[in-house]
């Protein structure tokens, strides 16, 4: 049987984790997490890490395996994930990958695009601009230099944002012009499943998830991380808004509403990214496992 990687993608809060566990149990497979927010062991509630019960159902990899102080990027993940998948395929022809970080999923299934070397001084200046002027200044700069990249990459991620800007500035070409559809040869077949729903449903699920995070102790988690708020890993939705609250810049009610709003924007960007991939087989989030498996059987024979 051909070694196969089944990837489950889609917007946040759509139900990817639940489906990945069902598929993994059906194939007696293990799960690779491609959610870059869940790599860090100090972040739990705000990143919607699978529960202990879910983690006990199926063995997971790349969940809370790094510290927020680690410098772990998408290239590192590509290397480590390919090694792990090859290891898993030695004992099972199936492996499951799940996550909403589109670039990380692409790194594993298709490989990363090539970018020219850029003078380190460019990144140094951009980092200084981020520290002194904030992320909004960088977002506006990218909007002017590369609107396509602005509309597709995770612009709330300073590391991703600075990377795009340094390519624009250092090469005098848009970052998006280096994004190609060419794929690396992999030692496995890839099948990608996308989960989706009506926008109103996605937004309601996001609101419910944020409320549940607050109920489950997100405030205490974020408060404990205040000394590390300058780290890139923590400049993410659910944390940066509550840092503003703890520093007295806004009310708790406003911070929570901002988390919900920014998560909705994040979900929209996720869908924009994944819709570019014609190979993804899309399902409504309520589709039964058996119906998904029937489609997978059809596609696996193509």
Q: Is-contact 159 191, C-beta < 8 A?
A: no
Those residues with Cβ within 8 angstroms of residue 95's Cβ, 6 or more apart along the chain or in another chain: 3, 4, 5, 6, 29, 30, 31, 32, 85, 88, 89, 188
Q: What is the pLDDT of residue 115?
A: 86
Q: How far apart are CA 105 and CA 111, in angstroms?
A: 9
Q: Is-contact 190 107, C-beta < 8 A?
A: no
- pTM reported for the whole predicted model: 0.85
Burial-class residue 52 by CB neighbours within 10 Å (0-12, 13-18, 19+).
Answer: exposed
Q: What is the pLDDT of residue 235?
A: 86
Q: Is-contact 14 281, C-beta < 8 A?
A: no
Query: Hey, how many other C-beta atoms are within 10 angstroms of the C-beta on 171?
Result: 16
Beta strand 94-98 pairing with 60-61: unpaired
Q: How far apart are CA 8 and CA 96, in angstroms?
A: 8
Query: Hey, how many other C-beta atoms are within 10 angstroms of the C-beta on 116?
Result: 9
Burial-class residue 299 by CB neighbours within 10 Å (0-12, 13-18, 19+).
Answer: middle
Q: Is-contact 62 34, C-beta < 8 A?
A: yes
Tokens linked to 88 = 């898993």
Q: What is the pLDDT of residue 298?
A: 60
Domains of the chain: 4-113+181-300 (3.40.50.300), 120-178 (1.10.20.140)
Q: Which helix (H) or strand (E) holds 33?
A: strand 31-33
3-class SS of residue 47: coil
The DSSP bridge partners found for residue 66 are 40
Tokens linked to 15 = 């139900």
Count of positions (residues) in the chain: 302
Q: Could you list the mean pLDDT of each consecutive 10-residue stretch along the chain, which spans 302 residues?
A: 94 96 96 96 96 95 96 91 97 96 93 88 92 92 95 83 94 90 85 97 98 98 95 91 97 98 94 91 96 81 56
């Amino acid at each position: 049987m051909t070694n196969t990687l089944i990837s489950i993608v889609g917007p946040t809060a759509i139900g990817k984790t639940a489906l990945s566990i069902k598929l993994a149990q059906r194939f007696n497979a293990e799960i690779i997490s491609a959610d870059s927010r869940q790599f860090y062991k100090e972040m739990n509630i705000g990143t919607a890490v699978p529960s202990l019960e879910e983690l006990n159902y199926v063995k997971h990899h790349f969940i809370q395996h790094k510290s927020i102080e680690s410098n772990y990027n998408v290239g590192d993940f590509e290397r480590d994930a390919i090694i792990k998948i090859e290891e898993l395929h030695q004992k099972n022809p199936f492996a499951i990958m799940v996550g909403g970080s589109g670039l990380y999923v692409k790194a594993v299934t298709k490989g990363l695009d090539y970018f020219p070397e850029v003078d380190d001084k460019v990144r140094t200046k951009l980092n200084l601009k981020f520290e002194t002027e904030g992320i909004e200044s960088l977002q506006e700069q990218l909007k002017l230099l590369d609107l396509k990249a602005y509309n597709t990459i995770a612009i709330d991620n300073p590391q991703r944002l600075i990377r795009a800007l340094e390519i624009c500035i250092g090469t005098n070409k848009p970052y998006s012009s280096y994004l190609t559809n060419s794929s690396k040869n992999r030692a496995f077949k890839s099948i990608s499943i996308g989960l989706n729903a009506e926008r109103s449903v996605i937004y309601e699920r996001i609101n419910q998830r944020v409320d549940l995070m607050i109920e489950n102790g997100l405030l205490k988690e974020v408060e404990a991380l205040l000394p590390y708020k300058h780290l890139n890993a923590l400049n993410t939705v659910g944390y940066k808004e509550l840092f503003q609250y703890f520093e007295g810049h806004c009310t708790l009610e406003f911070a929570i509403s901002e988390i919900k709003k920014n998560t909705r924007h994040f979900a929209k960007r996720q869908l924009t990214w994944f819709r570019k991939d014609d190979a993804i087989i899309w399902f409504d989030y309520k589709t039964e496992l058996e119906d998904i498996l029937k489609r997978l059987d059809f596609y696996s024979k193509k």
